[in-house]
Amino acid sequence: MKTALITGITGQDGSYLAKFLLSKGYDVYGTYRRTSHRQLERLVSMQIHKQTNLEYADLTDQISLNHVIKKVQPDEIYNLAAQSFVGVSFYEPFLTSNVTGLGALRVFEAVREFSPHSKIYHASSSEMFGNSAEIKNENSRLYPASPYGVSKVYAHKSAQLYRKSYDMFISCGILFNHESPFRGLEFVTRKITSAVAKIKLNRQKKISLGNLKAKRDWGFAGDYVKAMWMMLQQDEPDDFVISTGESHSVEDFLTKAFEYSGLGNWENFVDIDKKYFRPSEIDDLVGDYSKAEKILGWKPDMKYEELVKLMVDTDFTLEQNNKIDDNF
């Protein structure tokens, strides 16, 4: 039986990945942090919390990472933990750099010192590319447009450096946006689908949003965690773009979600609020996943329209049972 350690197991991707690895027969460990509120809700909803081994560790605390990596000696480490919300990275740039940038370096150092045989998957991001018109691949220029993007570039370059300098197996997945019913409520897709559910049930009148013109390459998280695992089944570490190859605007997502729900024209329900605009924005992100298709045999399964419907349907059922938080 192989052992895997997931940093960030409580997040969207961590929970999907844990479920996937359990289905493959892995002994799954995950790191989590002490908080004053419940944070295992995704693992509990997926009914896998009792099958995973949880260990305290924080990406800002080298000792905690050393301890867990030394103890578990995993065959595979998936470094998913991060301050992952781009909007907040403008308000908390130091924290974001510390967790999302330096935090990855701390994981690589802990593995180098205490478990050099472990293969590492590192979660890089399409946010590293910033603004430019072309379809992005593994060789596209990195020109980040947020403190989060800058931090991800630091971690990505560190991963490449450690791979080359110390012969470590570190593969980087350059993942484009991926969503699901387990997406955090602050990200725009889930913000929209959770609001649609509340509006439909007469529990909310309007939703406030920012830049509706921005376009993103939205895929399904369940498809994307499979690509992470595939990268670690290769003989050599490498970098891979994981995407769908098409982008849609926030306005298009709104249109599809409101029409599908039966509420009709989104314009009757949306306010534009300046506070959701970012100091610097990426207009459009589209990825070319042909390298992943050729080498890993990976391609996305779920289509964009299906993803919108899945998120609308799930949020409606959740809200009927009063299970969506009211924080956002």
Residues marked as catalytic: 125, 127, 148
Q: Which does 278 bind (CB under 5 to 8 A by kind): ligand NAP, ligand GDD, none?
A: ligand GDD
Q: Rank residues 68 and 221 by Cβ distance to ligand GDD and give the closer one.
A: 221
Q: Which does 10 bind (CB under 5 to 8 A by kind): ligand NAP, ligand GDD, none?
A: ligand NAP
Contact 87, 186 (CB under 8 A): yes
Per-residue mark of binding to ligand NAP, 27-46 (x: CB under 6 A) = ------x-x---x-------
* 34-41, long-range: CB < 8 A, 24+ apart: 39/10, 40/10
* Nearest C-alpha neighbor of 42 from the set 56, 32, 27, 57: 32
Q: Which does 250 bind (CB under 5 to 8 A by kind): ligand GDD, ligand NAP, none?
A: ligand GDD
CB of 84 to ligand NAP, least distance (A): 4
**What span, in angstroms and rounded, lies between the C-alpha atoms of 263 and 92?**
37
Q: Which does 214 bind (CB under 5 to 8 A by kind): ligand GDD, ligand NAP, none?
A: ligand GDD
Q: Which does 14 bind (CB under 5 to 8 A by kind): ligand NAP, ligand GDD, none?
A: ligand NAP
Q: Closest CB to ligand GDD belongs to which residue?
A: 214
Q: Looking up tokens 């009211």, which residue turns up?
A: 326
Which alpha helices (DSSP H) does 236-300 contain, by range?
Answer: 250-261, 290-295
Window 6 to 25, contacts with ligand NAP (CB under 6 A) = 7-8, 10-14
Q: Under the phi-then-psi rule, with left for phi > 0, alpha for psi from -120 to 50, and beta for the rest, what region is 310?
A: alpha
Q: Rank residues 159 and 199 by Cβ distance to ligand NAP and give the closer one.
A: 159
Contact 244, 292 (CB under 8 A): no
**What span, in angstroms and rounded, lies between the C-alpha atoms of 163 and 189?**
35
Q: Rank residues 7 and 115 by Cβ distance to ligand NAP and give the closer one.
A: 7
CB of 92 to ligand GDD, least distance (A): 14
Using the rule CB under 6 A, which residue among 96, 118, 177, 247 binds ligand NAP?
A: 177
**What span, in angstroms and rounded, lies between the C-alpha atoms of 218 and 75?**
31
300 binds ligand NAP (CB under 6 A): no
Q: Which does 210 bind (CB under 5 to 8 A by kind): ligand NAP, ligand GDD, none?
A: ligand GDD
Q: Phi, psi at residue 249, to the nearest 5°?
A: -80, 160
Q: Alpha carbon of 131 to those of 135, 141, 157, 275: distances in Å?
A: 11, 10, 19, 21
Strand 239-242, strand 248-249: pairing: unpaired
Q: Where are the beta strands (DSSP E) in the chain?
A: 3-7, 27-32, 53-56, 76-79, 119-125, 170-175, 178-179, 207-209, 215-216, 219-220, 239-242, 248-249, 270-272
Q: Rank residues 12 and 115 by Cβ distance to ligand GDD and give the closer one.
A: 12
Site residues, ligand GDD (CB under 6 A)? 84, 86-87, 125-127, 176-177, 186-188, 191, 209-211, 214, 216, 250, 276, 278, 281, 285
Q: Which residues bind ligand NAP (CB under 6 A)?
A: 7-8, 10-14, 33, 35, 39, 58-60, 80-84, 99, 123, 125, 175, 177-178, 184
